[in-house]
Amino acid sequence: MSVNKRTALALGVLLMLAMSAPGGGAQKDKEVYAQFKVAFDELKNEVIVLERQVRSLQESQDRASGQMSTLITQIIDNVTAIRQAQSRIAEGSNSAISQVNGIDERISAVNQRIDRLSNQIAEIKKLVENLPKLPTFTEITPGNPDQLFAAAYGDYSRGNYDLALSEFRQYVETYPSTEMADNAQYWIGECLLAKKQFNEAIAEFDKVNTLFPKGDKVPAARLKKGMALMETGQVEAAKAEFQAIIKLYPRGSEAVLARQQLGEK
């Protein structure tokens, strides 16, 4: 029942009471009127209080409704932001997975190449192990240049650089006109390189070109000379030697190695 209806009903009841009261004169009417007025004032006050309570309740409800609406909007915005973040994360995950897969493929390819190289190295090792051992000469037959060269090379291979150096020098001095004389002179330089006597090695490599200018070991001797120059810190001289090799022997393997030393492709 609304406040207005309650008010009207209360007034009606009071009027009926006033009209049904036994007549008692003017004094009685005044008393009834006074009672009616008091009751009416009390009822009016109650109505005012109720109206205020109703307005306060409506205002509270409006505020709650507004807060709820704001909260719902915020929740919707947060859900949307979360979904967008999930989408970006999913895209990033897919990209990362693709990159990882690409890396795995490259690693797999590298591992395959390593496996092939390992197999090749194993095969080469077997071939080397199966090679006939270089002969060790306790005595070298005089007048036999091949035996002397083989003995010197065998000692070099076994790391007996001092003995090999002596034998190669003996070969060059004894058989300077043979086909292997330029090779023996070249290996004198290699023995000195192995002993890290770089300046002495440079001088011996120079002799390959001086004593045997038409020998096939000249390009290799110049290449090793350039490397020895690098070891001694003579960088510009070494570069000049490498450039000369590239110019004079462009088709040889020494030219390829010289370019590598110069950092060229």
37 to each of 15, 19, 40, 50, how far by Cα in Å? 11, 15, 5, 20
Question: Along the 265 residues of the chain, how does pLDDT read in single tens digits?
Answer: 554 555 555 555 445 544 454 555 666 566 655 666 565 555 655 556 666 665 666 665 555 556 555 655 666 666 676 677 667 766 765 665 666 567 767 777 767 766 776 666 666 555 545 544 445 555 566 778 999 999 999 999 999 999 999 999 999 999 999 999 999 999 999 999 999 999 999 999 999 999 999 999 999 999 999 999 999 999 999 999 999 999 999 999 999 999 999 987 5
pLDDT, residue 107, reads 73
pLDDT, residue 51, reads 61
DSSP state of 215: S
The pTM assigned to this predicted structure is 0.51
Distance CA 73, CA 11 (A): 49
Confirm if 176 and 148 have CB atoms less than 8 A apart: no
Confirm if 221 and 212 have CB atoms less than 8 A apart: no
Structure tokens at 20: 């049904």
Structure tokens at 5: 């209806």
Q: Which amino acid is at 86?
A: Q
Nearest to 161 by CA among 128, 200, 130: 200
Distance CA 244, CA 157 (A): 30
At 210, give phi and psi (nearest 5°): -75, -45
pLDDT, residue 72, reads 59
Which long-range contacts does 79-86 make (Cβ < 8 Å, 24+ apart)? none
pLDDT, residue 23, reads 52
pLDDT, residue 91, reads 73
Q: Which CATH class is domain 145-262?
A: mainly alpha
- For the chain, give every domain's residue range: 1-131, 145-262
Confirm if 258 and 226 have CB atoms less than 8 A apart: yes
Q: Which amino acid is at 64?
A: A
